[in-house]
């Protein structure tokens, strides 16, 4: 096969052979990680993806040929900018003065008392400008778009938060902006839709396919392939073709860096558990990444179990999915036996996605992170509980992580610590909650 690959002229160059060499190095990597767990150090987990965008066998670049040049351009721009002190200074300044960082790390004392176990800390991404962690990524990608000279920005959105955040940064940078939102969500998140319009974005309802978040991604890809010369696509999560999973993770890692330093200052040492909800997985990857090499810290991603994992009506590919290829990367997917992508279900629009970022797939396989799932009912209960006990309105997405943290805390000692990424605020979910409660608030 080597001869065959060399004959293509790809080997050792663009790397058709890289899948194989990386599979070998992945095995070595896994071994190294197991050893490092024993001796308590780990120096390399943070160094992925490899040159061609793979996390072990996951990730990569599975797109139509037309987009390959744009992805190369984006990779080159990012390689340059991530080492550019002027870019980093501008990003840091925007995060401080526009987004409002650092976000607080808040010890939820009444929630802790109610759970009766480990102390629960909330990383308050809900207090960011636009009300969620999504803006961390959008701010950085808007700077990238400006650097690449792209006058137009497009984005897909599920819960509306990434759409709002993208429209926000595009408005601030004077870029044209189009947001693709799934048809179903336009009803569920009508406030976000109008907010996008107030921000000068064209909000396009997506009624193709199953009219879900994945179809909004498909539509955004189709737009990008058509307008690739002048358009930058801000993917909102750590999925998509390389370099997106890496760029979004790097930009979201500010969450984990802050949380780690804040915890060390307030409490000393490291938390025992860091947990976050996982749809595509950007808020989880952002808070996990700076802790990857702290072997004593359990990293737990919480997927949406919808009506329950046994019912099949859920959005938990890491718990109940099969490896495949969708939206530019290889990862765990909800799919049927014929490889068709399954429809998903979650009460939270932002988690209602059949795939998951490839780095999560890899962290699951090498057992560096654990992935659990929480049902709609449990998330709704946590949503209500945080309102009543702490006076904080969490997003339904984040409520999944809260639900898991409360139940896990009960099994832990009172001198142990859990950090929950409170990834967004729940104003957008009030109509959904009112409907569940049988109240009309139109």
Partner 1 sequence: MSRLATRFTKLNGDHRKALVAYIVAGDPMPGTTVDLMHGIVEAGVDVIELGVPFTDPEAEGPVIQAAHERALRHSISLGDTLEMVREFRERDATTPVVLMGYLNPVERMGYQSFAEAAGNVGVDGLITVNLPPEEAGALTVTLDDHGVDPIYLLAPTTTELRAAKICAASRGFVYYVSLKGTTGAGGLDVDEVRSRVELLKAHTELPLMVGFGIKDGATAAPIAAVADGVVVGSAIVELMRIHEQDPVALKSAVMDCLAEIRLALNASVA
- Tell me if the bond preceding 87 is cis, omega within 30° of 0: no
End-to-end CA, the chain: 64
User: Does residue 15 touch partner 1 according to CB under 8 A?
Assistant: yes
Using the minimum distance from each CB to partner 1, give the nearer residue, 14 or 84.
Answer: 14
Give 187-255 as a DSSP string.
HHTHHHHHHHHHTT-EEEEE-STTSSHHHHHHHHHHHHHHSTTTEEE---SS-SSTTHHHHHHHHHTHH
User: Does residue 17 touch partner 1 according to CB under 8 A?
Assistant: yes
Q: Minimum distance between the CB of residue 250 and partner 1, rounded to whole angstroms?
A: 22
Q: Minimum distance between the CB of residue 72 and partner 1, rounded to whole angstroms?
A: 8
Q: Residues 156, 219, 359, 378: which is the catalytic one?
A: 156
User: Does residue 7 touch partner 1 according to CB under 8 A?
Assistant: yes
From residue 23, give the alpha-carbon distance in Å to each of 54, 238, 362.
10, 21, 12
Q: How many residues bind partner 1 (CB under 8 A)?
A: 55
For residue 388, give both structure tokens.
């009543």
Q: Please, which of residues 324-353 interact with partner 1 by CB under 8 A? A: 324-328, 333, 335, 337-341
User: Does residue 4 touch partner 1 according to CB under 8 A?
Assistant: yes
Please pick, from the candidates 12, 19, 89, 414, the single residue that binds partner 1 as defined by CB under 8 A: 19
Q: Minimum distance between the CB of residue 232 and partner 1, rounded to whole angstroms?
A: 15
Using the minimum distance from each CB to partner 1, give the nearer residue, 47 or 69.
Answer: 69
Q: Is 134 a catalytic residue?
A: yes
**Which of 260, 337, 273 lies closest to 102, judged by CA?**
260
Contact range with partner 1 by CB under 8 A, out of 162-170, 191-199, 222-230, 425-433: 222-230
Please pick, from the candidates 29, 49, 50, 63, the single residue that binds partner 1 as defined by CB under 8 A: 63
Please pick, from the candidates 12, 28, 93, 208, the single residue that binds partner 1 as defined by CB under 8 A: 208
Question: In whole angstroms, what is the distance from residue 316 CA to residue 314 CA?
Answer: 6
**Which of 127, 118, 121, 124 lies closest to 108, judged by CA?**
121
Please pick, from the candidates 107, 171, 228, 309, the single residue that binds partner 1 as defined by CB under 8 A: 228
For residue 193, give both structure tokens.
């839709």
Using the minimum distance from each CB to partner 1, give the nearer residue, 163 or 240.
Answer: 240
Q: Minimum distance between the CB of residue 378 and partner 1, rounded to whole angstroms?
A: 29
**Which of 420, 398, 394, 106 lies closest to 262, judged by CA?**
106
Q: Minimum distance between the CB of residue 430 and partner 1, rounded to whole angstroms?
A: 32
| Cα–chain center distance at 208 | 24
User: Does residue 64 touch partner 1 according to CB under 8 A?
Assistant: yes
Q: Minimum distance between the CB of residue 48 and partner 1, rounded to whole angstroms?
A: 17
Question: In whole angstroms, what is the distance from residue 358 CA to residue 240 CA?
Answer: 9
Using the minimum distance from each CB to partner 1, give the nearer residue, 227 or 416.
Answer: 227
**Which of 51, 54, 32 lies closest to 43, judged by CA?**
32
Please pick, from the candidates 215, 272, 359, 390, the single residue that binds partner 1 as defined by CB under 8 A: 215
Using the minimum distance from each CB to partner 1, give the nearer residue, 60 or 243.
Answer: 60
21 Cβ neighbours under 8 A, 6+ residues apart: none
């629960």: which residue's tokens?
120
Contact status, residue 131 vs residue 429, Cβ threshold 8 Å: no
Q: Minimum distance between the CB of residue 186 and partner 1, rounded to whole angstroms?
A: 19
Q: Residues 18, 123, 125, 134: which is the catalytic one?
A: 134
Contact status, residue 167 vs residue 199, Cβ threshold 8 Å: yes
User: Does residue 210 touch partner 1 according to CB under 8 A?
Assistant: yes
Please pick, from the candidates 171, 225, 377, 389, the single residue that binds partner 1 as defined by CB under 8 A: 225
Q: Is 423 a catalytic residue?
A: yes
Question: In whole angstroms, what is the distance from residue 57 CA to residue 362 CA?
Answer: 8
Contact range with partner 1 by CB under 8 A, out of 54-62, 186-194, 312-320, 395-403: 54-62
| Cα–chain center distance at 206 | 21
Q: Beta strands 54-55 and 58-62: pairing type?
A: antiparallel
Using the minimum distance from each CB to partner 1, give the nearer residue, 34 or 69.
Answer: 69
Q: Minimum distance between the CB of residue 324 and partner 1, rounded to whole angstroms?
A: 5
Using the minimum distance from each CB to partner 1, give the nearer residue, 249 or 327.
Answer: 327
Task: Say which DSSP state 413 is in.
Answer: -
What sign does the dihedral 64-219-136-261 (CA atoms) show?
Answer: negative
Catalytic center residues = 134, 156, 423
Binding residues vs partner 1 (CB under 8 A): 1, 4-5, 7-10, 13-20, 52, 60-70, 208-210, 214-215, 217-218, 221-222, 225-229, 322-328, 333, 335, 337-341
């Amino acid at each position: 096969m080597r001869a065959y690959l060399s004959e293509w002229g790809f080997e050792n160059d663009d790397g058709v052979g890289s899948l194989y060499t990386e599979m070998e190095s992945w095995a070595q990597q896994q071994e190294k990680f197991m050893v490092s767990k024993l001796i308590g150090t780990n120096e390399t987990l943070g160094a992925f993806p490899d040159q061609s965008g793979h996390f072990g066998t996951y990730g990569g670049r599975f797109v139509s040929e037309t987009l390959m040049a744009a992805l190369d351009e984006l990779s080159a721009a990012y390689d340059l900018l991530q080492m550019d002190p002027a870019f980093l200074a501008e990003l840091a300044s925007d995060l401080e003065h526009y987004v409002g960082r650092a976000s607080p790390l808040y010890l939820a004392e009444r929630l802790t008392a109610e759970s009766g176990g480990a102390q629960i800390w909330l990383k308050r991404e809900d207090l960011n400008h636009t009300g969620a962690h999504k803006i961390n990524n959008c701010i950085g990608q808007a700077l990238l778009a400006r650097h690449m000279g792209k006058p137009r920005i497009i984005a897909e959105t599920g819960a509306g938060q990434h759409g709002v955040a993208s429209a926000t940064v595009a408005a601030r940078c004077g870029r044209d902006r189009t947001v693709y939102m799934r048809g179903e969500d336009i009803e569920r998140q009508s406030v976000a839709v109008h907010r996008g319009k107030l921000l000068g974005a064209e909000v396009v309802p997506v009624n193709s396919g199953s009219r879900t978040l994945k179809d909004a991604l498909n539509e955004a890809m189709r737009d990008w392939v058509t307008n690739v010369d002048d358009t930058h696509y801000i993917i909102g999560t750590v999925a998509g073709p390389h370099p997106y999973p890496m760029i979004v993770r790097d930009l979201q890692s500010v969450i984990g860096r802050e949380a780690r330093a804040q915890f060390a200052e307030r409490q000393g040492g490291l938390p025992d558990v860091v947990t976050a909800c996982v749809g595509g997985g950007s808020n989880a990857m952002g808070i996990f990444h700076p802790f990857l090499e702290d072997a004593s810290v359990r990293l737990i991603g919480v997927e949406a179990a919808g009506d329950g994992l046994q019912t099949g009506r859920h959005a938990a590919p890491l718990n109940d999915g099969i490896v495949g290829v969708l939206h530019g990367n290889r990862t765990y997917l909800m799919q049927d036996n014929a490889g068709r992508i399954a429809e998903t279900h979650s009460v939270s629009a932002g988690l209602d996605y059949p795939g998951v970022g490839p780095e999560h797939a890899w962290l699951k396989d090498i057992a560096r992170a654990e992935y659990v799932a929480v049902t709609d009912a449990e998330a709704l209960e946590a949503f209500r509980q945080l309102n009543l006990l702490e006076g904080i309105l969490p997003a339904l997405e984040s409520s999944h992580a809260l639900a898991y943290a409360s139940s896990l805390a009960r099994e832990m000692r009172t001198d142990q610590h859990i950090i929950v990424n409170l990834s967004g605020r729940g104003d957008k979910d009030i109509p959904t909650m009112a409907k569940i409660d049988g109240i009309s608030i139109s």
